[in-house]
Structure 1
């Protein structure tokens, strides 16, 4: 959040973070047609709008299911031991979530940092996925009651040769053929919103308009109906990669 606010020249204060989240969560109810759930950070769960309405309630009012970030992140350079350990930790986490009537989102965190090629990313993605689901079965997790938060299969950000979009699209689809898919458009949804808002109260409506445009485009993409270049967002040509990213 600090990096995103810095990008538009805002100080990373709790109130600025709250104002930005209020912009997102008070957008027109149409937003609920395109976004089904939001993963909230611990701070966000307890924040309220200016009129005192909890953010969790605002989300419910527009038909969006609120969730909370409860897991930690995986190793960036997976050895066999690291993959096995992370899979078992994720499986235990999923089991605990289900025991408490929470739907676990199992995330195989494979960041785009590094100089790896497309083939290496696909190999790691498929291997981690196999380990994850074996561990989930071993821990008696109800698989139909879980969601997989997947990654795009791409070459590394500093790879000597970058895969073109047709190549990484095919690699990602191949990887996802056996997945129970949960699509996360968090960064893609917010970049244009921030550029339109830039922390000014008078720009809240402009930011919300950008959110609706991008959310609709992402929803269409998940259904295979998106036409490339159709929405012209404020950050349409801006790279969204953040080195060593963590929520």
Structure 2
């Protein structure tokens, strides 16, 4: 375990190194179909392969992208030329990661709440994923805010599953990325989002401690503390940054390897601005980086979808730009004027 632990600690540190973050392209086939439908591209195994190959082969992407979360299908795929996508990633300095949960399903007895499934058989799957080249994994839980939710039972169940998953990851030599996402859906205000996020994170780290998870070899993927999308009073960039950091200071141990944010429905620019604002707020006990899906892919997807054969370089340029902007944000060096350069 010592050799594996040393490797995991090294991997976790590399994932959140200054100026770099994680590209999330682990959308399920169903979610990918929705994205492709929006650009008029048929969702087939080949089109998904071609799209993700386009992203992962972006020249010099590794300068700002440290790792990428893949779907099971992608981890096993090769390019049209027969080169494994994992090799393309490694040659580009990008660490392969893998989504391992089986999705969020209704929590029995608790209307409107969900529990993430996938622990059965996970040990065997993790060992296989390590052999296939993955060096970190991700498990997402969702917490919904409404008039009656979330319940403590929902938070407890999801955090316990996250901790059991994390322990199994470290047993297999994979860095666990634990993702308790507090959804933006709803009309709740900033204070409510803060209270739910704080309770969720405190519960999560209690569970991780109970399951003997080594925090120096663990990454938190967190939502930012933001009001619900339907809240009449939206918060400005500094309010979100202050609320999020205050929440983390009260719940996240300093020994954690790092924190990466999900974009959770934010626009590309909003996600970058929020990350930058937090990294301008003085010295922090953990690196703050990004693990964005749509907030890195949206522009590239639109450009590629307009002509998948001819627009590869143009789409890669869009991804490269967003990766660079977010890389600067991890160091508090982003400026809006750079968007037009």
TM-score normalised according to structure 2 size: 0.65
What is the match of residue 195 of structure 1? Answer: 302
Question: How many corresponding residue pairs?
Answer: 232
Q: Which protein has the bigger strand share? A: 2
| Aligned residue among 18, 27, 45 for 1:14 | 45
1:230 alignment partner in structure 2: 338
Spell out the pairing of 1:82-121 with structure 2 (5 A cutoff): 82-121=154-193
- 1:96 deviation in Å? 0.6
The gaps in structure 2 that reach 5 residues or longer are 1-31, 102-115, 117-140, 253-257, 261-289
Matched, 1:44 2:61: no
1:63 equivalent to 2:63? Answer no
1:211 corresponds, among 319, 332, 341, to 319
Deviations 1:122-178 (A, max 9, x none): 111111111000111011111111100011111111123222223212212222346
Contact kept in structure 1, 2:143 and 2:183, CA below 8 Å: no
Q: What RMSD in Å do the two structures reach over aligned CA positions?
A: 1.6
Q: Which runs of 5+ in 1 are unaligned?
A: 234-247
- 1:135 and 1:222 map into 2 onto residues whose CA distance is 28
Report the equivalent of 1:78.
Answer: 150
Query: Which string of whole-angstrom CA distances, capped at 9 and with x for unpartnered residues, describes residues 49-86 of structure 1?
Result: 11011111111110000010012433424211111111
* In structure 2, distance between residues paired with 1:159 and 1:52: 49
Please state how far the C-alpha of 1:186 moved relative to its aligned partner.
2.0
Equivalent in the alignment of 1:3: 34
Q: CA deviation at 1:232?
A: 4.2
Work out the CA distance in 1 between the residues paired with 2:215 and 2:295. Answer: 28
